[in-house]
């Protein structure tokens, strides 16, 4: 997108807090991944242990930080004790080091919005076509069909809670945002497919709340079928 930043991570708790304090004196600092289970300003934090997240630190005070959380908690506070537990992100599989922060964001190359979209579209297509991420982890059509199979009878409580309070609402929002992005990039066929998926996932949210898991499974299967078409379309990007 024509921007760069300074990325820092690792070290002891004291080193991490010192880095954060120094950076936050100049501008807000993006930190993460975090474990949402320790973001104690969020009343649902206990049920989110292990879920990854990113927040912005606005300032560092004596024993706490002031943060902006895009989940819906602007200008809230988090004590150092909870911050450090969340920031270690020990249950977030993709993090390589604890205490990752990004600061000193600055433009390095004038870039139009259309150029940004054109640059990122090939990467989006590559991600769509990536079925296997690592051992035991699946994405795309494979993951959707596995999920539908699990939901054919009855959803386990932990899976139902994850779907209804996190995964489905987030998936719908991402599909809506993505279709708008692709329309701006003149990829109307792909955008139409994403919009269809958003509507199906929205229906799945309602069916899940009503505990009609067989209907949720059917809707997820339809989403998987559309995903196959989306993958096919993406090969021309």
Q: What pLDDT is attached to residue 138?
A: 79
pLDDT digits (tens), the chain, 237 positions: 889 999 999 999 999 999 999 999 999 999 999 999 999 999 999 988 998 999 999 999 999 999 999 999 999 999 999 999 999 999 988 889 999 999 999 999 999 999 999 999 999 999 888 866 666 777 889 999 999 999 998 899 999 998 998 899 999 999 999 999 999 999 999 999 999 999 999 999 999 999 999 999 999 999 999 999 999 999 998
Q: What pLDDT is attached to residue 166?
A: 87
> What CA–CA distance (Å, rounded) separates 67 from 69?
6
Q: What pLDDT is attached to residue 2?
A: 87
Is the overall model pTM greater than 0.85, yes or no? no
Structure token pair of residue 187: 């990829």
Complete domains list, the chain, with CATH: 3-107 (3.90.70.10), 113-234 (1.20.120)
Category of 69 on φ-ψ map: left (φ > 0), alpha (ψ -120 to 50) or beta? beta
Q: What pLDDT is attached to residue 196?
A: 98
């Amino acid at each position: 997108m024509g921007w760069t930043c300074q990325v820092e991570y690792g070290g002891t708790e004291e080193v991490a807090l010192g880095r954060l304090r120094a950076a936050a004196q100049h501008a807000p600092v993006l930190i993460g991944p975090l474990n949402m289970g320790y973001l104690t300003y969020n009343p649902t934090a206990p049920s989110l242990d292990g879920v990854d997240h990113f927040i912005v630190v606005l300032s560092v005070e004596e024993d706490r930080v002031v943060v902006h959380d895009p989940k819906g908690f602007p200008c809230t506070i988090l004590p150092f004790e909870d911050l450090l537990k969340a920031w270690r992100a020990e249950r977030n599989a993709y993090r390589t080091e604890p205490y990752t922060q990004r600061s000193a964001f600055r433009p390095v190359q004038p870039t139009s919005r259309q150029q940004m979209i054109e640059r990122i579209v090939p990467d989006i297509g590559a991600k769509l076509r990536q079925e296997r991420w690592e051992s035991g982890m699946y994405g795309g059509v494979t993951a959707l069909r596995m999920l539908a199979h699990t939901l054919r009878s009855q959803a386990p409580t932990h899976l139902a809670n994850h779907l209804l309070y996190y995964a489905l609402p987030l998936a719908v929002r991402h599909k809506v945002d993505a279709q708008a992005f692709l329309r701006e990039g003149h990829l109307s066929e792909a955008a139409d497919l994403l919009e269809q998926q958003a509507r199906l996932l929205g229906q799945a949210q309602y069916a899940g709340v009503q505990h009609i898991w067989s209907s949720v499974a059917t809707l997820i299967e339809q989403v998987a079928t559309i995903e196959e078409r989306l993958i096919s379309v993406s090969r021309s990007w």
